[in-house]
Structure 1
Amino acid sequence: MSEAQGDAWRWPLEGSCDQARIARIEHITSPYESSPPPICYPGTPLDREMIAMVPELMRKQLNGIGFHTPNGIGEGGFDSTQKMESAAVHMVAGMLGGTPQTVDGYFCGGGTEANLEGLYIGRQWLRCFADPQKKGIAVLCTPLAHYSIFFKGTNILGLTNQFRWTECPKCHRAHKLPKNENTEHLRLVGVDINGKMHLPSLEQIFLKAYEEGYRQFLLVATAGTCLMGSIDPISEIGQWMKRTKREYHVEFYFHVDASFGGFTIPFASEGKEHIGFDVPEVMSVTVDADKMGHLPYPAGVFLCRKGLQEHVGLEVAYIRGHGDYTISGSRSAIAPVLAWDYYQRLGVDGQTRYVNACLEARDHLLRKILERFERNNHVYPLSCSPFVNFLPLVIDLVDGSVPEDQIEHGPLAPYHLRSDGIPTERMDPLSCPMIAYKLCIMPHTFGFLDRFVDDLETVVRAAGKFGS
C-alpha cells in the first residue's frame, strides 16, 4: 500500500454518500457481456424475468437455514420458501432418478460445498462399519476429479493432510503426488483416452489398498469433468462395487460429482447415460445450478438418498425442527426460489432445447477447428462428450501449451483460456500430462465461435506453427 493511500483502507468513522463510490459500483461490468466473451467460464447471462424478481427477494431477507426435504419443518417465518426449496430439490432429483420418497437435499454455496457435504456424509457413514486394521478410509477418484475432492474436501475432513503437487523431473510440470503420510489415503485411478475412469485401473488400485488393510472406501466419480466433460462409467462402477463388496467384504460410499453434467446429461442422453439414483450404488450427487442450471451464483445443489444426512445432523435447540444437517447453516433462499419458478416456466422440453443448442454450437466449433487446422499437429481437439458442451483443445505453441503472455495479451486474451492436464498413460494417473484448454460453449459464446477460430489462427501463424 502506498503512503498516498494513508488510512483509506479503514472502515470510515463517519458514513457518507459518495457519488464516486456509487459510480464505481454502477460501472462494474460482466465478462459474459464483453465482445468477445470468455470461452471457458461455466456461467452465462441470466433470464430477464428472473433478474426482475431478485430485488424484492433480497428485500425480504429470506434465510434458508435448516433441512426441509424430510418433513418440511424449518425455521419459523420462512415456511413458504422452505416448501419451494423442497419442490426445487425434487425437480432436480427427478431428472437423476430420484423421487421425494427416496431423495433428500438442499441448495448450498456451490458445487464445492455440495461435494464437501457428500464427502462428510460418506466419512461418517463409513465409520459405522468395522475397520479391523484401523487403516481408515481410502478415497478413490481420478486425477480429472475437481480439486474440491482431492485437495479441499479430503483435507478439511482429515482424510488427507495438506499437500501440493510436486514437480516431475521428466517434464518439469507439477503433477506428481508426494509419497508420504499426507497422501496415504488418497488413491488416484487412471483414465482412458476419453478421460473416463478406467475400470482395470480402479480394480488394480483397490486391490493394492485392500492388501494394505483398507476395508472402507469413499469413491468419487465425475459426470462432466472440468477439462474434458468426460463422464465416468457410473453404472459399470456401481456393478463393480456390488461384486467387489460381496467378494471382499468391504464397504463403499459412492458420490457422484455432476456439477456441470447434472444439468446436461439427463436432458441430452435420452436415458442412455445413468449418472444418479437410477444406479443403486450411488448414494449422493452434486449438481451446480449456477452453471447449466441458469441460476445466479452461488447455487449448488446437494442430493442424497433418504436418511443419509442424519449421519451429519446436529441437534440445535434454538432452531425450529431442532436440527441442522447442512454445512451452510444460514443460507440465502433466493436461488431455490428462482429455481422453483424458472424450472416450471422452462419445463424439461425447454432445458432439453437449451442443452441441445449448446451441444450444436460446440459441434459447430469442432467442425470449424478441424477444417481450419486439418493438417496441423499443433492444434487439435481431444475426445468430446456427446452430452456435455465442452471442447478440450490442444494448442501446442511452446512446450505443449500457449505461452502465458499470449494468454493474457493479444488476440486470445478476451477468451480467458484456461488449461489443465490429462495423463498420457491410462494406467498411470501421475504420468506426464497432455495440456489442453477447456472451451465451454454456452449461449453468450454462440456469436463469437467463428471469430475465435480466426483469432486462434492469427496466434498460431505468428508462432510459425500453422500448416505443420
Structure 2
Amino acid sequence: MCAQPLEVAVEAHVRFIEANLGNAGLYPGTQRLEKEVVRAIGGMLHHEGAGGSIVSGGTEANITALWIARNVTRRKKVVFPKSAHFSFHKACDILGLEPQMVGLDEKFTADLDEVKRVVDNDVCAIVGIAGTTELGAVDDIEGLGALLPDGAFLHVDAAFGGFVLPFLDHGPPKFDFAVPEVSIITIDPHKMGMSTIPAGALMLRDEGQMRTIRKDAPYLDTVGQAAALSGTRCSAAVASTYAAMRFLGEEGYVKLVKGCMDVTRYALEKGTGIGLEPVMDPVMNILCFYAPDVVRIQSEMEKQGWKVSVARNPESLRLVIMPYVTRDSVDGLFADLEEVLGGLDD
C-alpha cells in the first residue's frame, strides 16, 4: 500500500538523509519544514490549527495516539472494530490497555449497536477507520462521535484513506476534524501522499495534549523531546513529504486519486466480466472479490508473476490500485486470473 514516491520527493529525501529531527536544535530547518507539513495536512483535514508530528508510519502514530489518550484520561479501555489495523493490538499490549473489539455491520464498518453496548466511563478512546486495510471501508465517524463518553478520545485511523478521501469526486463521508468529536488522526504520506518511507503523521485537534507524553532530554540541543515515540527521527521523510505536497497541491492529488479510481472501476468491470462478485462497491482504490480457494489462487497468480493479496474478513482476493497500476496491467492480470480460475478443478 506504499506508493512509488515522486522523483522530487526522493530528491528531497536524499538531501536531508543525515538530519535527525529528534535533535532539532542541530537541524532547525527540518523542524520548520515539519511545522509547514503539519499545517498543510491539518488544512487538508479541515483544521489548519491542528498540531502534530511526522512519525515513521501508521503503527507509530496509532500507538502514540492511544498513549496520549491514556495519559490524558487515565482510563484503560479502547474500543475498535475487527477491521482495525494490527497496530491497535500492539498498542494495547505495550500500554497496558484493555481492547474492546466490536464486530462489523453489513457494510463491513464498525457496528454502532455493538459499540454502544461496550462503551462505559472507563473508555479512553473509540477508534474509527477511514479506509480499512483489507476492504477500504470507512466507518461512520459521526456515528461513533455520538457514542463517545465524556472526556474520551475519538481517534481516526486514516493511514491509507487520509490522502484519498479528501480528493474523491463523489462526496466522501466525513471522517476528519470536520467531525467535532474527532480528537486525533493518523495519516500516512508514504502511501497515497506519494512521499518516501518512512513518513506517517500524527495529527491532534489540541496540540497541548502532546505534552502528556513529553520526556526531557537536556543533553540535546533542544530542551526536551517533543511528542514522539522515537528518539532519532527521520528528517528526510519530512522533507520528502513537504516536496510531494508542494509539487502536487490539491489539483495534483485530485488528478492522482481520480486516475486510481478510474482504474479501480475498470478493474471492477473486468472482475465481474469473468464472473467474480465484489465484496463491496469500492469506496476508494481497494477492490476485493469473492472467489473459491483464494489462497490457491494467490499461489497460482504468483507463479504467473502477479502479487495479489488475500483479505480474511471476509475471505476474498484483494487488489490495491496504486497510481502505477494501469488499465493495461489490469487487462493482463484478469486474463491470467481467468485462466487460473478455469484450472481450479484440475
TM-score, normalised via structure 1 length: 0.70
The correspondence for 2:31, drawn from 82, 85, 93, is: 82
Question: What is the one-letter code of the residue matched to 1:450?
Answer: D
* 2:109 counterpart SS class: coil
* Structure label with greater radius of gyration: 1
After TM superposition, the structure 1 = structure 2 runs for residues 257-336 of structure 1, keeping only pairs within 5 Å, are: 257-268=157-168, 272-305=172-205, 306-324=207-225, 325-336=227-238
* 1:65 counterpart SS class: helix
After TM superposition, the structure 1 = structure 2 runs for residues 61-460 of structure 1, keeping only pairs within 5 Å, are: 61-65=18-22, 75-99=24-48, 101=49, 103-127=50-74, 136-149=75-88, 151-159=89-97, 185-206=98-119, 210=120, 215-241=122-148, 245=149, 250-268=150-168, 272-305=172-205, 306-324=207-225, 325-373=227-275, 379-386=276-283, 388-397=284-293, 401-403=294-296, 406-409=297-300, 414-422=305-313, 434-446=314-326, 447-460=328-341
Task: Report the Cα offset of residue 89 of structure 1.
Answer: 1.3
Task: Report the Cα offset of residue 283 of structure 1.
Answer: 0.9
Task: In structure 1, list runs of 5 or more residues that go unmatched.
Answer: 1-41, 67-74, 128-135, 160-184, 374-378, 423-433
Deviations 1:134-157 (A, max 9, x none): xx52211111000001x2111011
1:411·1:455 contact (CA, 8 Å) conserved in 2? no
Question: What is the one-letter code of the residue matched to 1:199?
Answer: L
CA RMSD of superposed structures (Å): 1.9
- Equivalent pairs counted in the alignment come to 343
State whether structure 2 residue 11 is matched by structure 1 residue 52.
yes
Work out the CA distance in 1 between the residues paired with 2:168 and 2:331.
Answer: 24
Which one is further off, 274-283 or 224-233?
Answer: 274-283
Work out the CA distance in 2 between the residues paired with 1:240 and 1:419.
Answer: 33
* 1:414 counterpart SS class: coil
2:278·2:288 contact (CA, 8 Å) conserved in 1? yes
Deviations 1:12-62 (A, max 9, x none): xxxxxxxxxxxxxxxxxxxxxxxxxxxxxx12322223333443332xx11
2:20·2:235 contact (CA, 8 Å) conserved in 1? yes
Work out the CA distance in 2 between the residues paired with 1:412 and 1:221.
Answer: 37
Task: In structure 2, list runs of 5 or more residues that go unmatched.
Answer: none
TM-score, normalised via structure 2 length: 0.93
Task: Report the Cα offset of residue 409 of structure 1.
Answer: 4.5
* 1:452 counterpart SS class: helix
Task: Report the Cα offset of residue 268 of structure 1.
Answer: 0.9
- Give % identity: 27
Between structures 1 and 2, the one with greater helix share: 2
Question: What is the one-letter code of the residue matched to 1:117?
Answer: T
Question: What is the one-letter code of the residue matched to 1:443?
Answer: P
Work out the CA distance in 1 between the residues paired with 2:70 and 2:304.
Answer: 42
Question: What is the one-letter code of the residue matched to 1:123?
Answer: R
Deviations 1:298-357 (A, max 9, x none): 111111122110111112212344221210121111111122122112110110110111
Question: What is the one-letter code of the residue matched to 1:65?
Answer: G
Work out the CA distance in 2 between the residues paired with 1:394 and 1:410.
Answer: 16
Work out the CA distance in 1 between the residues paired with 2:154 and 2:175.
Answer: 11
Quick one: structure 1 residues 216 and 193, their matched pair in 2 at CA, closer, same or farther if it must change by over 3 Å? closer
Moved over 4 A (4+): 269-272, 409-413
Task: Report the Cα offset of residue 186 of structure 1.
Answer: 1.7
Task: Report the Cα offset of residue 104 of structure 1.
Answer: 1.0
